[in-house]
Structure 1
Amino acid sequence: MKNEKLNELINLVKRNINLADLGCLYAHNGYDDERYHELKEINMKILSLLSENSMEDICSFYLPIKEYPTPKVDIRGILLDENNKILMVEEKLDPGKWSIPGGWADIGFTPSEVIRKEMKEETGLDVEVVRILAVYDKKCHPHPQEAFYTYKIVFLCKKIGGELKNTFDIDDVKFFDIENLPPLSEARILESQIKQLYYLAVDDIKDVYFD
């Protein structure tokens, strides 16, 4: 099956799981609730067969819901040095692969607070958040398939203090030239996205990319 059709099929299965969750949430009787739970389980098995995720991983993500399900939010930052090289991190969870700093949004933190916290925790640097560069829907980009549906917010950041250092979940932190990027952790960021973000920052383009 071609990748484009496979990705479309996986997205449809995710949508089916979402609809089954809504059915479970709003079912008015035990019969409906049982059928929606069965539909959810069937589609989770299909998703496991189509993707690189185990059934255990999928079940741990698609837990029973108590309110309307929404996408997960991944928040990341672009920081350039005086030579316009890009700050990147090698996470221990994906050895040998690199990404721009960031991670899942935390409850109780604003988006800009999240990226300041992630920058400090992953790189040792204190940053000022300048502006939003892009809001990506991972469905619209050729990331490896995963169980959950994700929006990615990317901020332009500026160093205001601190020193580069490795942390407990980071193997290495370095600046890279835009034309000499390392192997990427494509579940987190794509080369096309890094280059787009780079030129939005360097050319001082104020428009925010979305989708």
Structure 2
Amino acid sequence: MNGTEPEWLLWAREIQATAQSGLAFTRDPYDRERYEALTALAARMMARCGGADETALLDAFRAEAGYATPKVDVRGAVFDAENRILMVRELVDGGRWTLPGGWADVNQTASECAVREVREETGFVVRASKLALVHDRARQNHRPAGPHSIYKLFFLCELLGGEAAGSLETAEARFFGRHELPADLSTGRTLPHQLERLFAHRADPSLPTEFD
């Protein structure tokens, strides 16, 4: 188990996942009641220990269906000819900076999702060229911690065209050199050591994909 998140969060997340998977497969009405009670318990634990809204958590958990698996977040690392990396300033999270990206959508490959997110959030057209990092959000010590287990996929992307533009989610898009990266990062989405690794992959494309 990872040591970067509190044990109560790990326990509550596991209870919720067990309940969700149980509800997906059980045919016994009494077991269904038990799994629903476990779902409510997980929401209560997260709300009491983490200061979240219990009703909102319970609604979110009830909206999940099927066997519980991690969610997938995709990020595009786009470099220009001067080896600067493209970042966006978000309209949420205090206007902090992150790599363009978001949740993976159904009926699209992971790389297609990354390319789409870059276009929507920055105005630039890109092509995904390499899967550089596959990170577990909790293991990498992203903050703040959240209720879900999340895999984060970072793709190196080639710049094809377009021009910088804001979006419904971002205030601006800008390229930064390796030694001029913004200090106010959205640490729930992008961390300094991940940016360092992406610069390393840009410099040496033969590096293998890094995971965990």
Q: Matched residues in 2 for 1:32 and 1:173: separation?
A: 50
Once residues 170 and 5 of structure 2 are traced to their aligned partners in structure 1, the CA distance between those partners, rounded to angstroms, is 33
Mapping for residues 30-69 of structure 1, pairs under 5 Å: 30-51=29-50, 53-63=52-62, 65-69=64-68
Partner of 2:167: 167
* TM-score normalised over the length of structure 1: 0.90
Aligned to 2:193: 192
**CA deviation string 1:146-168 (max 9, x = no partner):** 11111111100011111111122
Return the alpha-carbon distance in structure 2 between the equivalents of residues 25 and 5 of structure 1: 30
- Residue aligning to 1:79: 78
- Is the alpha carbon distance of 1:20 and 1:190 closer, same or farther for their aligned partners in structure 2, counting shifts above 3 Å? same
**TM-score normalised to the size of structure 2?**
0.90
Kindly report which structure 2 residues correspond to 1:1-211, keeping only aligned pairs within 5 A, or say none: 4=3, 6-51=5-50, 53-63=52-62, 65-143=64-142, 144-182=144-182, 183-211=184-212
SS of residue matched to 2:94:
coil
Task: Measure, in 1, the Cα distance between the counterparts of 2:102 and 2:16.
Answer: 24
What is the SS of the residue equivalent to 2:121? helix
Aligned CA-pair RMSD: 1.8
Deviations 1:84-129 (A, max 9, x none): 2211001112232110011111111111211111111111111111
Q: % of aligned pairs identical?
A: 32
> Runs of 5+ in structure 1 lacking a partner?
none
Contact 1:7 1:145 in 2 (8 A): no
- Secondary structure at the aligned position of 2:35 is classed as helix
| Amino acid paired to 1:209 | E
What SS does the corresponding residue of 1:109 show, helix, strand or coil? coil
Contact 2:4 2:141 in 1 (8 A): no
For 1:164 and 1:142, the matched residues in 2 are separated by: 30
Length, aligned pairs only: 208
User: Structure 1 pair 66/184, CA: closer, same or farther in 2 (3 Å)?
Assistant: closer
Unpaired segments of 5 or more residues in structure 2? none
The offset of 1:31, in angstroms, is 2.2
- Of 31-40 and 135-144, more deviation after overlay is shown by 31-40
Q: In the superposition, relative to structure 1, how do residues 65 and 123 fare at CA in structure 2: closer, same or farther (>3 Å)?
A: closer
What is the alpha-carbon distance in structure 1 between the residues aligned to residue 165 and residue 140 of structure 2?
Answer: 31
CA 34–92 in structure 1, closer or farther in 2 if over 3 Å, else same: same
CA 1:162 to 1:23, structure 2 compared with 1: closer, same or farther past 3 Å?
A: same
